[in-house]
Structure 1
């Protein structure tokens, strides 16, 4: 309404409160009602706040010109804005996709569809288990999900908006018809009814949010608008959705939500972590939004096929060695606009003339990029060279038709270049000649009337006029017609001036209308080439991602990993010399490299050492090197030989789910249950301090049982960091298990970390020393040392007693007791305080928790 989008009644009260804007009111025959509005020219910032508050926003615009109607100007909902269907640049993150998901069930399968409405990226898959669908949802991290009537929202994470949508959209027949309007033979394209239901419903939802621009196009109520879409009456076809990629999750290395968080692929684990302290932050040297999104997609879905992995490695190797070419490519790619979103806006008829100019400027760079790949050696780069279609016809059309620096508005003229359309040039000539006649009028009338102060002016209300001051009114000619009286002057028109004004205004209005018609025709012609533009965008995005990987490899001394075929055995090979954590090494002044040698004959490593020595960093660096290699990147190491890993599982770091009613220990057990249920011989499992959320005895029992199960039943390649030192003894009975530890020294009672991994078990956890370094108060530390000494003495006495049987003869087997070990004379000894103290993780205890634990151990000694 005017310069504002207005909300009314209850919606006005909510938006006024949420957006902190003025709440006003309006009165009509029905009474007074609240009203609150936001300015049209700054609407996006307010809409963003509403989306973040969990709302969806329907936008209604005028759909007819005020001058063409005698009553109230017709308005219609022109778009529905939701978190998953954003298309506005101001609301989107340029370097990542923004997906909306749909989940549908049929028989025993769940279908999942994912669509980026701004780019047209469209994916589909299915699975029998909800957990598998949840893993795929975690991969793509949609902002919004629509769920079918027979499906559950369980696979959708809590931070994803779940949107109800008409159940009719998920009907198998109707969904198939919706798909058939976009793709030939969707039954052959997709695997099963569940996928068809999900994809068809998602397309219907995308059409629904697009909105309508013509009276009656979508109906008056929301239900009528949905029905119009489902019955094909709304004409909301999304022409830029031209490809549907059906994929099998088993074609990619699987990373569930836990692994994505633990390995910090896209977000730092700590609340205050640096945004660039992630794997994508390390890798992303892309020059365009296209390349940034592709790189993130590669990280979400690392490859399993050695041939595809090697093809990327070949391209990275060639770009790494060709320094000048790589840098020139990067410079040219920086001039590339976001083609996917540009062609999306053009196809949706929401692009302005500046968007077409951005497309033209991008196309002008393509021949230079293509020339830089003309003599490429590797097949992948040669393929990209051929795929870089410069779309000369599209570029020339825009160059011929659109001025170099057009205005933002497309209805007010100034867009179409001179010489493009003869009719437009004639109208402009008429308007220009008339304005020149008026420009000359002032001088002519001054000479004719002798009034030197006479002026010719213009305003939007009265049009053109001749102004004469009061002292000169007697000299006004007879043909002057009074138009307006002011305090010190009067304004006049002449019949000839009125004719010229009508001629100018009419010609200018017809010119503006002609320009708009021409612009819409040009925009439609460009939209017709959507598939060519999308293929070009895909080629540029792939090249940008490869250049980024090559740049990182060159700058940070990454090596090319050797990808091995599985030799028929079930296990993995992860052979890394001098590996480095790709994220941590960027934040430290120095980093100590470490090796990792894992094979089917050495597949379970029990890692010990004090806190802060590097156990967790080491395990994550092994997993991240594996991921980088399968993405197609070089890796931070001196050398690496790897067989593709099919899944990475992590149980790293303590966390709870208070809102979900789960303690830290319960979260840990849930994650472990998933690992034990789903891991296999081609999985890499990272376990850190399993079993510490309960008593020492229970924790040790769980840790040992898990170790044995992973070894005997699962066969996964496993890195297990622990403070349960008895686990190191277990490796003696498992042929493919071995121990590693991080060495430390003590200097005047202080721990010196070397961060170097070595064979064998650590001699202790150095918990008290780490507590000292962490700043635990001296009285607590001193008391801890006393207890450690007492426990050690108790251990020695227990060992001496256990060596003698009840008759005093050495070598006898001790009897068992429900309370602990038993001496030769049948007396019970206390619980193994020393073992509990060794396992105590002081680095993760507050001073109060440490005192509580020490008090408990003291009471055990006194019993």
Structure 2
């Protein structure tokens, strides 16, 4: 980013001409040249020159100007009291923000007030509640390469959640990045940003942080033996660099701490400065992606797990939207993590199902738990703020209020039957000592500020009580002073008052000035009165002010001491937070199961199974049934011997919904949830692949068809017999004949070579013949009724192929103008009359391709071209030589195009 005062080449020349304040601003902008510097001037954060023009435009605030000895220049500012909302807008616009606070009191310096950057705020390192979404994590990622291996680290700076993994392919790391959806990624010097999605901010960081030795040293300050904790050098480099970055952006955020420039901060990070350490990061979870059901970015979008596909879709029209009945932010994040990483191991899945089953059947207990969990504050972020020394007294009271409900929550689980709930009962540590400490030390309703007194309870500290007693005695003496002085002077209108400028005074109106005693000393003259002090009043005032000041200082010291004591229990608080989050997520799943008639799925062991079994009776789409007035349930039965379903039917009949509902039921079962069905039994799935919907990537130079082929190539390359594959309208981005050829070739390859369980929806009716040609293929269809030109969708699936596509009828229902519909009917009728009996030219071409693949060396007849002629011998030979099983879809299409040109030549 250019300096706020102009391009870099102009900076040195301008520096010597600036006023001291603007020189200070210029220096901070130069040190933090990748951020917008918010420069405190009184009660505002100001930006100047180029930065002012930029922020005024982005934030839609007034662009003013400032004039000094160097001339006039633009200025734009935001109020400090409302800075967070503006900072959020800057972050959403893709900027980092460096907050430069005044680190000196204006009245204590004769020159310009010194300012320093006390916080660097980036999208991935937010800790401010106002900028965070409570029910989801906010991750920052780091990627590092070591040889052919990529390491990925993910950290939520606000909660301390810390994960690490690695893989040998950029695609695998890209899938994990999509799964966790970080707001920011720190990339090592030898790792390209390819695995990072475009919407994620990519941040370059000091290359030293990714050095193996330095990364190990950094990790060792947090964890005893990082080499044993992590799998390889790539993970160590990513994790160590991420911790260094988190410490760097933390900077001097402690109250009253003097800020440092960027170079000093980086140096402090590498020197192991204990003040930079994030004490609440106590656990690092190393995981293998293969331990969970894998969901890539395409599947996450297609199945609408977290975001609706429709541009104007309802926020709750997602899987998490219908499942989330959690009562706390803790539970909301836990539930999202479960959906993000469904389980594979049947025993772990069953343990969650046991807990959901018990809570579903215990209505009063479930509702009582939900009510109590609503009183739980966000312990993870609370203890994070406490450990960072950013928590105020109200935060401590919130912690106390949460701990107060834990005994009742434990009591609700005291007689639990299932092992998972019994474990939670044992893990719900009420932290009685922490609760008692807060109750004893902090008043019930403390003020927000922690430096102005009124936060420490009476009786907690004798010295503080003595100081407060001195101040109260003095205040009482002054309250009695008015009566005494009126009696002594005979001035009935005499008043004793106080203001922040002149302190305590005795006020006498002008007509009574002759009665003023000799020991009164004039302090202030007003229009109708005079204000005086006496030596005794001045002495009492000094006592009161001194006692109050010392009391405020003592309160602040005591509060910091209490906060440190609580921070020392960070691991206990985090363990309690995890137990409460888990319980909240289980209560949410059981609430949904009870309210919407979900059933417990039977989870089958995979031992000895070559493929998958998915048997669902009366299955429903969890999201669609909640957004529609009615929903028609459907069965699904897929086994090793019947693993490829070719589904036909008109648009809007329910093909895509059906496929997604099967995938969602599988996913829900592996999350640990009950499922929307009458019954369900299934084998855990390793991975769900989807090729659903049409989209392009114009910015990336990819057409809709190319995007489709890329997604199909991934499926063919990575799916196996334990994968569930959804294919919707494969090949529709090209000509009908080529599309059917590609669709058939892909389907055959999945059936013969991959062995994945597959749901394939298509309008290419000739492809239903796959059920005759492939042993494990079968057909399903959605039937409709037609009456007087109108179509009625029943949304019921049945065996066999559909009788037609009803495209014109659907166009009519959609409101296409009648002349267009009539013309379409004419064209359909003409095409039907001209169609060969065998099923039409397109079908003949597809069959011809299938016959070619089945030819043997015994010498078949020459293949026929579309116009009835024979295929030239050289072209036929090339066709026979093609190794279709090892061609990607794009390569197959290229070959078809080349051979077609040979025929036309």
TM-score by length of 2: 0.88
Once the two structures are TM-superposed, the CA of residue 304 in structure 1 deviates from its matched residue by 0.2
**CA separation in 1, counterparts of 2:62 and 2:139?**
34
Contact 2:103 2:256 in 1 (8 A): no
Deviation at residue 531 of structure 1 after TM alignment: 0.2
* Mapped contact 2:252–2:260 kept (Cα < 8 A): no
Match of 1:191 in 2: 231
**Deviation, structure 1 residue 720:** 0.2
Q: Deviations over 1:254-303 (max 9, x none)?
A: 00000000000000000100000000001000000000000000000000
Q: Match for residue 445 of structure 2?
A: 405
Deviation at 1:32?
Answer: 4.9
Shift of the alpha carbon at 1:684?
Answer: 0.3
Number of the residue aligned with 1:588 = 628
TM-superposed deviation, 1:462: 0.6
1:697 matched to 2:744? The reply is no
- Residue 296 of structure 2 is aligned with which of 256, 259, 282? 256
Which residue number in structure 2 is paired with residue 820 of structure 1?
Answer: 867
Q: What's 1:267 paired with?
A: 307
Rounded Cα–Cα distance in structure 2 between residues aligned with 1:217 and 1:488: 47
**CA positional deviation for 1:661:** 1.4
2:44 maps to 1:4: yes
Tell me: CA distance 1:507–1:215, structure 2 relative to 1, closer, same or farther (3 Å): closer
The partner residue of 1:792 within 821, 832, 835 is 832
Could you list the per-position Cα deviations for residues 621-645 of structure 1 after superposition, in whole angstroms to 9, with x for gaps in the alignment?
0000000000000000000000000
Tell me how far 1:473 sits from its aligned partner: 1.2
Q: Distance in 2 between matches of 1:386 and 1:9?
A: 60
Question: CA offset at residue 17 of structure 1?
Answer: 2.7
Say whether residues 1:325 and 2:372 are aligned partners.
no
Q: Secondary structure at the match of 2:276?
A: coil
- What's the CA shift for 1:5? 2.1
Cα distance in structure 2, aligned partners of 1:816 and 1:260: 44
Q: Does residue 1:157 correspond to 2:197, yes or no?
A: yes
Query: Cα deviation per residue 1:104-157 (whole Å; 9 max; x = unaligned)?
Result: 000110000000000000000000000000000000000000000000100100
Q: Report whether the alignment pairs 1:425 with 2:465.
A: yes
Residue of structure 2 equivalent to 1:531: 571
Aligned partners of 1:553 and 1:634 also within 8 Å: yes
Match of 2:812 among 739, 760, 772: 772
Alpha-carbon shift at residue 444 of structure 1 (Å):
1.6
Q: Are 2:251 and 2:260, in contact at CA under 8 Å, matched by a contact in 1? A: no
- 1:781 is displaced (CA, Å) by 1.2
CA distance in structure 1 between the aligned counterparts of 2:563 and 2:224, rounded to whole angstroms = 26
Paired residues in the alignment total 814
After TM superposition, the structure 1 = structure 2 runs for residues 432-471 of structure 1, keeping only pairs within 5 Å, are 432-471=472-511
Of 779-788 and 529-538, deviating more is 779-788
Q: Does 1:47 pair with 2:98?
A: no
Q: Is the 8 A contact 2:651 2:810 kept in 1?
A: yes
User: Is contact 2:103-2:259 (8 Å) kept?
Assistant: no
Residue in 2 aligned with 1:547?
A: 587
Change in Cα spacing, 1:225 to 1:215, as seen in structure 2 (3 Å) is: farther
Query: Which position in structure 2 is the counterpart of 1:718?
Result: 758
52, 55, 59: which one aligns with 1:15 = 55
8 A Cα contact 1:581 1:624, kept in partner: yes
Instruction: Pick closer, same or farther for the CA change 1:799–1:174 going to 2, 3 Å.
Output: closer
Which runs of structure 2 are paired with 1:160-175 in the superposition (5 Å)?
Answer: 160-175=200-215
In the TM superposition, residue 12 of structure 1 has moved relative to its aligned partner by 2.8
Cα distance in 2 for partners of 1:20, 1:746 equals: 56
Is the CA contact (8 Å cut-off) linking 1:176 and 1:200 kept in structure 2?
Answer: yes
Verify the 8 A CA contact 1:76 1:215 in the aligned structure 2: no
Using a 3 Å threshold, how does the CA distance of structure 1 residues 728 and 800 change in structure 2: closer, same or farther?
closer
Matches within 5 A, 1:591-602: 591-602=631-642
**Gaps spanning 5+ residues in structure 2: where?**
1-40, 845-859, 871-905
Report which stretch shifted further, 225-234 or 384-393.
Answer: 225-234
State the match for 1:112 in structure 2: 152
Residues in 1 aligned to 2:590 and 2:759: alpha-carbon distance in whole angstroms: 30
Q: Paired residue for 2:787?
A: 747
Output one character per residue of 1:373-410: Cα deviation in whole Å (capped at 9) or x when no partner. Answer: 00000000000000000000000000000000000000
Aligned partner of 1:227 among 267, 277, 291: 267
TM alignment of 1:587-626, pairs within 5 A: 587-626=627-666
Deviates more, 1:520-529 or 1:566-575: 566-575
Structure 1: which 5+ residue stretches go unaligned? 804-812, 824-863
1:655-693 per-residue CA deviation (whole Å, 9 max, x = no partner) reads 111111111111111111111111000000000011111
- Residue in structure 2 matched with residue 628 of structure 1 by the alignment: 668
Query: Any residues of structure 2 matched to 1:466-505 within 5 Å, and which?
Result: 466-505=506-545
Runs (4+) of structure 1 exceeding 6 A deviation are 214-219, 797-803
Matches of 1:123 and 1:170 in 2, distance apart? 17
Match of 2:895 in 1: none
TM-score normalised per structure 1: 0.92
For 2:310 and 2:325, the matched residues in 1 are separated by 23
Structure 1 residue 61 displacement after superposition:
2.3
Distance 1:733 1:819 in 2: 23
Is this contact kept in 2: 1:260–1:266, CA < 8 A? yes
> In 1, are the aligned partners of 2:729 and 2:762 still within 8 Å (CA)?
yes
1:135 aligned onto 2:175? yes
Aligned partners of 1:254 and 1:647 also within 8 Å: yes
**Alignment correspondent of 1:241:** 281
CA shift in 2, pair 1:369/1:220, >3 Å: closer
Whole-angstrom distance in 2 between the partners of 1:77 and 1:359: 30
The 1-side partners of 2:471 and 2:108 are apart by 23
| SS class of match (2:617) | strand
Q: In the TM superposition, what whole-angstrom CA distance separates every residue of 1:537-556 from its partner, at most 9, and x where no partner exists?
A: 00000000000000000000
C-alpha contact (below 8 Å) 1:562/1:641 kept by paired residues? yes
Shift of 1:821: 4.3
Q: Where does residue 698 of structure 2 map in the other structure?
A: 658
Point out the more displaced range, 33-42 or 419-428: 33-42
How far is the alpha carbon of 1:475 from its aligned partner? 1.4
What RMSD in Å do the two structures reach over aligned CA positions? 2.0
> SS of the counterpart of 1:775?
coil
Change in 2 beyond 3 A, CA 1:664/1:457: same
Kindly state the Cα deviation for residue 511 of structure 1 after the two structures are TM-superposed.
0.4
Correspondence for 1:829: none
Shift of 1:457: 1.1
> Does 792-801 or 48-57 show the bigger shift?
792-801
- Structure 2: how far apart are the matches of 1:28 and 1:431? 47
Which is worse superposed, 396-405 or 456-465?
A: 456-465
Larger mean Cα displacement after TM superposition, 735-744 or 653-662: 653-662
Q: Does 1:178 align with 2:214?
A: no
SS at match of 2:492: coil
Q: Secondary structure at the match of 1:612?
A: coil
**Greater shift after overlay, 313-322 or 483-492?**
483-492
2:397 maps to 1:357:
yes
The answer to whether the 8 A contact 2:254-2:388 is kept is no
By how many angstroms is 1:34 displaced? Answer: 4.0
Deviation at 1:790, TM superposition (A): 2.0
Q: Secondary structure of the equivalent of 1:312?
A: helix
Shift of 1:536: 0.2
* 2:338 corresponds to 1:298: yes
* Correspondence for 2:712: 672
Equivalent residues of 1:75, 1:215 under 8 A apart: no
* 1:37 paired residue number: 77
8 Å Cα contact 2:116/2:261 also seen in 1: no
CA distance in 2, matches of 1:219, 1:39: 21
User: What secondary structure is seen at the aligned counterpart in 2 of 1:85?
Assistant: coil
1:708 deviates by: 0.5
Q: Distance in 1 between matches of 2:45 and 2:399?
A: 31
Structure 1 residue 77 corresponds to structure 2 residue 117: yes
Q: CA deviation at 1:565?
A: 0.5
